């Protein structure tokens, strides 16, 4: 029997939890650290090394997509990066996208997201609004959810702003989808819970949604991760500890939607992309089953042989093949 080749999704430098209580010669005691991504000091200072380059909103002309940065809220410095296909087609669907990063790192200007979302806008022939929300631990949850709601309200208001005619005239504001990967998918899910009764949302696209719980799942305990995995169990625990309100544990409904108190999503189609080699695999499968039990229409895509964040962090042939499959499924989902 031939062994199936599996693509490990890794990030360099090493993405592992460091021991709390380390002493820094510059600021003192480090209370939390995920090496290469974030370091939190006892005095509240936070450092985020530039592990992924941030890029301007320019794109190659041959891609056929116009990209611009726009301000959503000056007071909180919430921004959006907008991708609009250069097409004569009117009534483009709108995708509001939230980047991943455990609520603590990441940016709409990260090169990996810039490339991926430009590709999505081009291949799906849709406008993409990539939201640069506030990060924890400086802004713990629900700050990211509040920014997501604010971004969605801002978007719907643009339909009535004549000065934005260069892109609004192309868009179908009755065809809005919320999407995101990892923590961004969690944000899309929780924003949908907040606005589904007052704003029309056509669907949710959740890519490897970042959820957790006090009880460990089989995939969390036994899925073997490479040394520089994009998401380890230790890193996941640290992200939740830095992001959740003080005193909350991982069974808080923002973290564990299957736990008691989790709300229902009614009258909304949901697509969930699950990675076979992701420690979140079983969480994602539980989410799908829980939503179906409440009458939600769920489409489930399992991407074989790839790990967490493969669509933005892995350039292997297998991962690129899975990216094309993912885009195809999203296109079919949004086209229904």
User: pLDDT per residue over 179-190, tens digit each?
Assistant: 999 999 999 999
Q: Is the residue at 242 inside a domain? A: yes
pLDDT for 317 = 95
Tell me the CATH number at 206. 3.40.50.1820
pLDDT for 110 = 98
Alpha-carbon distance of 213 to 283, in angstroms, equals 9
pLDDT for 261 = 57
* Pair type for strands 92-98 and 127-132: parallel
Range of the domain at 228: 59-335
Query: Which residues does 147 contact at the CB level (< 8 Å), separation at least 6?
Result: 72, 73, 76, 78, 131, 133, 134
Q: Is the residue at 152 inside a domain? A: yes
Q: For residue 182, indicate whether it is catalytic.
A: yes
Q: Is the residue at 75 inside a domain? A: yes
pLDDT for 6 = 44
pLDDT for 27 = 72
Q: Is the residue at 18 inside a domain? A: no
pLDDT under 70: residue ranges of the chain: 1-26, 227, 260-264
Q: Is the residue at 226 inside a domain? A: yes
Catalytic residue among 107, 109, 182, 275: 182
Alpha-carbon distance of 225 to 38, in angstroms, equals 20
* Strand ordering across the sheet containing 46-47: 22-24, 28-34, 38-41, 46-47
Q: Is the residue at 46 inside a domain? A: no
Distances in Å between the Cα of 328 and the Cα atoms of 51, 187, 266, 332 are 30, 23, 25, 6
Tens-digit pLDDT profile for residues 200-243 = 899 999 999 999 999 999 999 999 877 678 899 999 999 999 99
Angle 186-196-311 from CA coordinates, rounded to 5°? 30
Query: Which residues does 175 contact at the CB level (< 8 Å), separation at least 6?
Result: 91, 93, 94, 202
Q: Is the residue at 44 inside a domain? A: no
Alpha-carbon distance of 155 to 96, in angstroms, equals 9
Q: Is the residue at 10 inside a domain? A: no
| Count: domains in the chain | 1
């Amino acid at each position: 029997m031939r062994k199936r080749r599996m693509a490990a999704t890794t990030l360099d430098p090493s993405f592992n939890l460091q021991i709390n209580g380390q002493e820094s010669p510059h600021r003192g005691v480090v209370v939390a650290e995920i090496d290469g991504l974030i370091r939190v000091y006892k005095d509240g200072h936070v450092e985020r090394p530039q592990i992924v380059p941030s890029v301007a909103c320019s794109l190659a002309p041959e891609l056929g997509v116009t990209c611009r940065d726009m301000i959503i809220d000056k007071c909180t410095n919430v921004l959006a990066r907008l991708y609009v296909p250069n097409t004569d087609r009117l009534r483009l669907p709108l995708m509001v996208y939230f980047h991943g990063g455990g609520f603590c790192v990441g940016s709409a200007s990260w090169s990996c997201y810039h490339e991926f979302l430009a590709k999505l806008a081009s291949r799906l022939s849709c406008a993409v609004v990539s939201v640069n929300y506030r990060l924890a631990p400086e802004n713990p949850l629900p700050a990211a959810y509040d920014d997501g709601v604010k971004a969605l309200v801002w978007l719907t208001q643009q339909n009535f702003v004549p000065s934005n005619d260069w892109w609004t005239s192309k868009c179908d504001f009755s065809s809005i989808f919320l999407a995101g990967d990892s923590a961004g998918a969690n944000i899309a899910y929780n924003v949908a819970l907040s606005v589904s009764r007052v704003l029309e949302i056509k669907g949710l696209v959740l890519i490897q949604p970042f959820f957790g719980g006090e009880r460990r799942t089989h995939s969390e305990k036994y899925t073997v991760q490479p040394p520089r995995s994009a998401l380890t169990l230790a890193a996941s625990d640290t992200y939740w500890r830095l992001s959740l309100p003080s005193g909350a544990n991982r069974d808080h409904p923002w973290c564990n939607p299957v736990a008691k108190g989790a709300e229902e999503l009614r009258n909304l189609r949901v697509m969930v992309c699950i990675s076979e080699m992701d420690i979140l695999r079983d969480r994602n499968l539980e989410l799908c089953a829980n939503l179906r039990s409440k009458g939600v229409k769920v489409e489930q895509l399992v991407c074989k042989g790839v790990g967490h964040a493969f669509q933005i962090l892995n350039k292997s042939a297998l991962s690129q093949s899975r990216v094309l499959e993912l885009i195809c499924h999203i296109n079919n989902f949004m086209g229904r």
